[in-house]
Amino acid sequence: MAAAVDTAYLAASYAIPKETFDTIVDAPTVDLVRSLLDQLAAKARDFDQLKSDKLRADVELENAIRAGESRTRALKTSVDNSLKEIEELRKKLNDEENARVTVETELQNLKSSTTTSSSEKDALETRITTLEASNRDALALVESNSLHSSKRSPLSKRRTARLRTTLSASNSASSHSSRRWSFSRKTTSGSRRSLTRATPNTPNTARKRVHVFPSFNGIMRMQASGSNLSSVPKPLSVTNVPRSTRRRRKPS
pTM: 0.33
Query: Where do the domains of the chain lie?
Result: 7-83, 177-246
Q: How many of the other CB atoms lie within 10 Å of CB of 62?
A: 10
Average pLDDT over the chain, rounded to an integer? 74
Q: What is the dihedral of CA 117, 118, 121, 123, to 10 degrees?
A: -110
Residue 153 is predicted with a pLDDT of 60
CB-hemisphere CA count at 13 Å for 240?
A: 13
Cα separation, 246 vs 235, in Å, equals: 16
Residues 6+ apart with CB under 8 A from 16: 10, 36, 39, 40, 43
Residue 20 is predicted with a pLDDT of 84
Cα separation, 87 vs 79, in Å, equals: 12
Residue 195 is predicted with a pLDDT of 53
Residue 61 is predicted with a pLDDT of 93
Residue 78 is predicted with a pLDDT of 92
Q: Which of 204, 227, 203, 229 is nearest to 215 (CA)?
A: 229
Residue 227 is predicted with a pLDDT of 47
Cα separation, 155 vs 151, in Å, equals: 8
Residue 99 is predicted with a pLDDT of 94
Residue 238 is predicted with a pLDDT of 43
Report H helices in the chain: 7-14, 18-26, 30-198, 203-225, 243-246
Residues of the chain under the 50 pLDDT cut: 1, 199-203, 205-207, 209-214, 216, 224, 226-252
